[in-house]
């Protein structure tokens, strides 16, 4: 009999689905070019949005690592599953922080032109790289959740969703 995963708590689940919504919203409303930052309202909105996501993920990191524990993958799951899940979670955190920090960097260089075109180019490059990596990591993350639901049937997906009707 496969060992069943314990459930994540209410706070972890709440943060998980709130951050999923915010990430989706971020892709939906994202800017097309740096010139749009000339609009002061848009400039301020982008900064507040980036700081909010950054703060939420920092709190989430603290909460799962220091308070309630991160993964609910059963300890006796195969080694490769522990390794793969850890790698994708680290990648997701790295891409979120990469997107947030490079976005704030773009805003800083835009408001401080003497920092120069090289720094702006580096920030935009990092922003595009991390923005491109996140959907690939999310595909791997969701594929992993489906693997646990359909093949392993060990309750790892349900640890984040609650019991599903099917
Ligand atoms: C349909 C979409 C999603 C599904 C089905 C899903 C499913 C899950 C499940 C089942 C876990 C628990 C894994 C475990 O305990 O080891 C988890 C954790 C996690 N998920 Fe998702 N997820 C989704 C979207 C997202 C999105 C958009 C992000 C944004 C970056 C994300 C980031 C994370 C992270 C970092 C963890 C590790 C635990 C934590 O720090 O909260 N997930 N997810």
pLDDT digits (tens, 9 = 90+) for 106-119: 999 999 989 989 99
Predicted confidence at residue 1, as pLDDT, reads 76
Average pLDDT for 134-158 = 97
Residue nearest to atom 34 of ligand 1 (CA): 89
pLDDT-based confidence at residue 164 (cuts at 50, 70, 90):
low
pTM equals: 0.93
DSSP state of 77: S
Instruction: Report the Cα–Cα distance between both ends of the chain, in Å, rounded.
Output: 20
Of 85, 105, 97, the C-alpha closest to 19 is 97
In short, whether 53's Cβ falls inside 6 Å of ligand 1 is no
Q: Is the pLDDT of residue 165 over 70?
A: no
pLDDT-based confidence at residue 163 (cuts at 50, 70, 90):
confident
Look up residue 162 and give its two tokens: 């609650």
Predicted confidence at residue 18, as pLDDT, reads 98
Q: Dump pLDDT digits (tens) for 2-52.
A: 899 999 999 999 999 999 999 999 999 889 999 999 999 999 999 999 999
Backbone angles phi, psi at 45, to 5 degrees: -60, -45
Q: Is the pLDDT of residue 166 over 60?
A: no
pLDDT averaged over every residue in the chain: 95
Task: Calculate what percentage of the chain has a pLDDT beyond 90.
Answer: 91
- Residue 85 alpha carbon, nearest atom of ligand 1: 16
In sequence order, what are the residues at sequence separation of 6 or more whose Cβ sits closer than 8 angstroms to the Cβ of residue 29? none
Task: Map 22-36 to HEC letters.
Answer: HHHHHHHHCCCCHHH
Ligand 1 mutation pick, 3, 20, 72, 154, max ligand atoms within 8 A of CB: 20
- Residue 20 alpha carbon, nearest atom of ligand 1: 27
Domain ranges across the chain: 10-161
Of 166, 125, 133, the C-alpha closest to 149 is 166
Look up residue 47 and give its two tokens: 């900064």
In short, whether 134's Cβ falls inside 6 Å of ligand 1 is no
Q: How far is CA 162 from CA 127, 155, 159, 166, in A?
A: 34, 9, 6, 12
Ligand 1 mutation pick, 160, 161, 162, 164, max ligand atoms within 8 A of CB: 160
Q: Dump pLDDT digits (tens) for 62-101.
A: 999 999 999 999 999 999 999 999 999 999 999 999 999 9
């Amino acid at each position: 009999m496969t060992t069943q995963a314990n459930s994540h708590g209410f706070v972890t689940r709440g943060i998980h689905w709130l951050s999923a919504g915010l990430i989706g919203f971020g892709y939906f409303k994202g800017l097309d070019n740096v010139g749009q930052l000339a609009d002061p309202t848009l400039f301020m909105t982008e900064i507040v949005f980036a700081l909010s996501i950054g703060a939420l993920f920092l709190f989430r990191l603290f909460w799962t690592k220091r308070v309630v524990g991160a993964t609910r993958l059963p300890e006796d799951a195969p080694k490769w599953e522990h390794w793969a899940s850890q790698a994708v979670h680290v990648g997701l955190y790295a891409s979120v922080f990469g997107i947030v920090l490079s976005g704030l960097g773009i805003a800083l260089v835009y408001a401080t032109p003497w920092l120069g075109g090289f720094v702006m180019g580096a920030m935009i490059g990092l922003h595009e790289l991390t923005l491109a990596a996140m959907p690939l990591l999310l595909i791997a993350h969701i594929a992993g959740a489906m693997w646990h639901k359909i093949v392993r049937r060990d309750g790892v997906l349900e640890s984040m969703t609650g019991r599903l009707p099917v």
